[in-house]
């Protein structure tokens, strides 16, 4: 696959590529729902996040709800599945925005990465990291680099021997390294997440986040 050939030019990254099956990008529907799920899953383990998402779908008979159906759901019903006040409000913010803007999946699939980040981060509760996850895992964009993701930070600091005590300098170094992965930076992130899942990270000097491969560094 072309992304493997390209990423293998980075000798340090090349060492971790054979550990996983080649990744394939997938484009998905119901973007509003994936955005809601991303919000609900933040700062949770994958197992706990799956439980929340199933509880959420159960509210709608196990089917994917429309933005209008979610907005029509009583606030206390959303709270009752275990969502915090903030997350419940953010989920409603997403759906109200999609309704007000008359957003369709086709519309978002046509937008550039930069335009989509600027557009969706207008929603209170949706940050750049959240939109980057949507770009990667829902829209199937191949060239996204999540510099603020804790898992990516930990993996790159270990592989490339980056000092993580100075967060600004760390991110600058990460961005510099990632440039040579373009136009396949999403694939690189996926391999880094996969490698980190089986490789214990070095203990950070302070708390910079919570989970890997699904959590924004704090």
CATH number of the domain within which 170 lies? 1.10.1670.40
Q: In this structure, are 114 and 158 located in the same domain?
A: no
Q: In this structure, are 63 and 129 located in the same domain?
A: yes
Q: pLDDT tens-digit profile of 112-140?
A: 999 999 999 999 999 999 999 999 999 99
Q: Is residue 203 part of a domain?
A: no
The pLDDT of residue 212? 34
pLDDT band at 215 (very low <50, low <70, confident <90, very high): low
- Interior angle at CA 214, CA 156 and CA 169, nearest 5: 35
Summarize the confidence of residues 32-57 as an average pLDDT.
Answer: 90
12, 180 Cβ separation under 8 angstroms: no
Q: In this structure, are 36 and 130 located in the same domain?
A: yes
Query: Can you give the length of the chain in residues?
Result: 218
User: Who wins on pLDDT, 218 or 104?
Assistant: 104
144, 129 Cβ separation under 8 angstroms: no
Please count the structural domains in the chain.
2
199, 158 Cβ separation under 8 angstroms: yes
User: Final residue of a domain: which of 87, 103, 137?
Assistant: 137
Task: Name the burial class of residue 131, with classes exposed (0-12), middle (13-18) and buried (19+) by CB atoms within 10 angstroms of its CB.
Answer: buried
Q: pLDDT tens-digit profile of 50-109?
A: 998 999 999 999 999 999 999 999 999 999 999 999 999 999 999 999 999 999 999 999
The pLDDT of residue 201? 40
Q: In this structure, are 92 and 131 located in the same domain?
A: yes
149 catalytic per annotation: yes
Q: In this structure, are 132 and 165 located in the same domain?
A: no
Q: In this structure, are 42 and 131 located in the same domain?
A: yes
Summarize the confidence of residues 144-168 as an average pLDDT.
Answer: 95
Q: In this structure, are 44 and 92 located in the same domain?
A: yes
The pLDDT of residue 216? 59
Distance CA 57, CA 31 (A): 15
Catalytic residue among 105, 143, 148, 149: 149
| Among 55, 47, 218, 40, CA closest to 126 | 40
User: Who wins on pLDDT, 172 or 24?
Assistant: 172
91, 83 Cβ separation under 8 angstroms: yes
Q: Is residue 116 part of a domain?
A: yes
Beta bridge partners of 216: 149
Residue 66: give the domain boundaries: 31-137
Distance CA 211, CA 1 (A): 30
Q: pLDDT tens-digit profile of 163-209?
A: 999 999 999 999 999 999 999 999 999 999 989 875 444 443 333 22
Summarize the confidence of residues 209-213 as an average pLDDT.
Answer: 33
The secondary element (H helix, E strand) that includes residue 190 is helix 185-198
The pLDDT of residue 18? 81
Q: Is residue 49 part of a domain?
A: yes
The pLDDT of residue 211? 33
Q: In this structure, are 183 and 122 located in the same domain?
A: no
The secondary element (H helix, E strand) that includes residue 39 is helix 31-41
């Amino acid at each position: 696959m072309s992304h493997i050939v390209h990423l293998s030019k980075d000798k340090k990254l090349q060492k971790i590529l054979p550990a996983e099956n080649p990744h394939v990008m997938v484009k998905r529907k119901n973007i509003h729902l994936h955005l809601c799920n991303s919000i609900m899953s933040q700062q949770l383990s994958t197992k706990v996040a799956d439980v929340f998402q199933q509880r959420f779908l159960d509210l709608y008979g196990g089917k994917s709800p429309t933005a209008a159906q979610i907005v029509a759901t009583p606030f206390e019903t959303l709270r009752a599945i275990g969502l915090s006040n903030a997350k419940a409000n953010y989920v409603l913010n997403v759906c109200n925005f999609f309704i007000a803007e008359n957003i369709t999946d086709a519309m978002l699939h046509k937008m550039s990465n930069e335009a989509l980040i600027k557009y969706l981060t207008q929603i209170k509760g949706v940050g750049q990291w959240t939109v980057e996850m949507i770009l990667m895992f829902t829209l199937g964009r191949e060239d996204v680099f999540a510099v603020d993701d804790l898992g990516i930070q930990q993996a790159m600091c270990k592989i490339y021997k980056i000092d993580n005590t100075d967060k600004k300098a760390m991110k600058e170094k990460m961005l510099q390294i990632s440039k040579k992965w373009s136009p396949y930076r999403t694939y690189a992130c996926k391999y880094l997440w996969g490698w980190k899942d089986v490789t214990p990270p070095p203990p950070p000097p302070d708390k910079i986040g919570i989970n890997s491969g699904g959590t924004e560094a704090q």
